[in-house]
Amino acid sequence: MTNVVHNQVMWNRLIAVVEEQALALIRTAFSTSVREAGDLSAGVFDPDGRMIAQAVTGTPGHVNTMAAAVRHFIADIGPERIYPGDVYITNDPWKGTGHLHDITVCTPVFRNDRLIGFFASTAHVVDVGGRGYGPDAKEVYEEGINIPIMKWVDRGRLNQDLINILKVNVRESDQVVGDIHGLAASNETGRRRLLQMLDEFGLDGLETLAAFVFDRTASATLQAIADVPNGVYVNEMVVDGYGEPVTLAVAITVNDDGMHADFTGTSPVCPFGINVPLGYAHAYFTYGVLVALAPELPNNFASLDVFSVSAPDGVILNAKHPDPVSVRHVLGHFVTDLCLGALAGALSDRVPAEGAGALWNFQASARSSNPSDPRPPVEILMFNSGGTGARPRLDGLTSTAFPSGVRTMSAEATEQVGPIVIWRKEIRPDSGGVGEHRGGLGQVIEIGPTEGYQFDFSAMFDRIDHPARGRFGGGDGASGSVYLDDGTRFAGKGRQVVPEGRRLIMELPGGGGFGDPDNRDAASIANDREQGYVTR
């Protein structure tokens, strides 16, 4: 018992170390997507690249893909070329987190000249060159600069050549290079705190603690999965896609050893950048199941190892190089609802209705509206969320990012970045699906450029033509829409222009309802009307 308590104390301390690692990144980040929205991940790994602990701060798409990325770093750098004082970097979509806008940095940790582990962190940066953040590219080559796994720092010596290459390939070089330094600094914070922890506990490395963490987590994960009877569970979902609807299909096989999701039946790869690398789909499948079955379970190598995925070549959830993948989150975020929907019959008391799913990211280049004006463009990124699906015992959450978990940047922080005014940001009444439990509400956002500017605007929205579906008798959530204040309708995806003097209005979708609306509690109905959530 003493050893168990001792190991549990060290485990909790290790989680505190990675939390400080993540907070160091937030404090040093240049981009609002990191310091305001928390679009990041941080974790500590054993010498074999297996994740022992992650920071609570972060997103599933970053954490669960980064969990596999460190092994790519080890393989590509080569064990014989890993030295004290090194820092490694990549944004390879297939060895990192699914698209070029996420930069992952990995730092080895040595103790007494012996490699004992790694720290890794990931952050979304505002620009990587190319066409800019949006779905219009036809190949990954157009989407920006691709940094293969390489050394950002070699035995304490900064790779100035790489910095120079980045500076001339991205529009916001100070922000991007600054964020990479922030990633490296966060890993260094973790490294120093880990060594202090090992000194305090008199340990030479992480092997004993990692074995304890993995053993406890593996048994708890399999115990949680046992709540789902063995069998095959299927589901399909139709979403907007780009130009034509996309069908997402899954068959989940459950047995005593874990779960496997197969995406056969999913639509083919799209010509535009909404395709999803399989590792990213894997991340959101795993996250969804763990949320439903064991929300308190720690996320590490052992909890992730019992989940696997497969998909035929050529489907949109199994993009291969050089397929365009810039906005892979739009369809990737739907994987959670897709997979939870397959398990809804077996877990009717845990699985919510469908929600808005994908973030409604606003990405724009603010440019002078006067062609003769030499002012440089300013890149602006703002995360926004619709409503989540109603839960079996509770209403859905309003304007909340699920499954991504990122926060929305405040209006004040966004307006400080560039020439943008946020005129309106309010809850969207009547957008949640009806039911015994109401779907979460979307929001209405009205934004426009300041005088002398226009927006070159990349739309990357969904749930405009295919709203979130209710569950077990609940109604569908409201569809989203995008238009100018003069009534001009915008497409849900693609590059468009917000002229000077005009305002863009985004009506974000709501979540589906859960259960028969005739069974809704009278007090809840009265409160909805009093608060203005429901007006009809």
How is 76-130 classified by DSSP, letter by letter?
HH-GGG--TT-EEEE--TTTTTSSTTEEEEEEEEEETTEEEEEEEEEEE-S--ST
Predicted TM-score (pTM) of the model is: 0.95
| 322-336 CB burial, b ≥16 within 10 A, e <16 | ebbbbbbbbbbbbbb
Tokens of 426: 């309010």
Q: What is the pLDDT of residue 204?
A: 94
CA distance 477 to 446: 21
Q: What is the pLDDT of residue 59?
A: 83
Q: Tell me whether residue 110 is exposed, middle or buried, using C-beta atoms within 10 angstroms of its C-beta: 0 to 12, 13 to 18, 19 or more.
A: middle
Contact 276, 319 (CB under 8 A): yes
DSSP H or E segment with residue 251:
strand 246-255
Contact 81, 58 (CB under 8 A): no
Residues 6+ apart with CB under 8 A from 141: 130, 322
Q: What is the pLDDT of residue 63?
A: 86
CA distance 45 to 450: 46
Number of Cβ atoms within 10 Å of the Cβ of 35:
20
Angle, alpha carbons 469-475-481 (nearest 5°): 65
Q: What is the pLDDT of residue 356?
A: 97
Q: What is the pLDDT of residue 2?
A: 59
Q: How many C-alpha atoms does 481 have within 13 Å on its Cβ side?
A: 10
Contact 436, 517 (CB under 8 A): yes
Give the CA-trace dihedral at 393, 398, 402, 406, to 10 degrees: -140
- Where in the chain are the domains? 2-205, 226-350, 352-536
Residues 6+ apart with CB under 8 A from 376: none
CA distance 127 to 143: 10
Q: Give the phi and the psi of residue 348 in degrees, each rounded to 5.
A: -65, -20
CA distance 50 to 198: 19
Q: Please list the pLDDT of the chain residue by residue as tens digits (536 residues).
A: 558 898 999 999 999 999 999 999 999 998 888 888 888 899 999 999 999 999 987 788 888 899 999 999 999 999 999 999 999 999 999 999 999 999 999 999 999 999 999 999 999 999 999 999 999 999 999 999 999 999 999 999 999 999 999 999 999 999 999 999 999 999 999 999 999 999 999 999 999 999 999 999 999 999 999 999 999 999 999 999 999 999 999 999 999 999 999 999 999 999 999 999 999 999 999 999 999 999 988 899 999 999 999 999 999 999 999 999 999 999 999 999 999 999 999 999 999 999 999 999 998 999 999 988 888 889 998 999 999 999 999 999 999 999 998 888 889 989 998 999 999 999 999 999 999 999 999 999 999 999 999 999 999 999 999 999 999 999 999 999 999 999 999 999 999 999 999 999 999 999 999 999 999 999 999 999 999 999 98
Q: What is the pLDDT of residue 407?
A: 85
Contact 91, 105 (CB under 8 A): no
Q: What is the pLDDT of residue 1?
A: 52
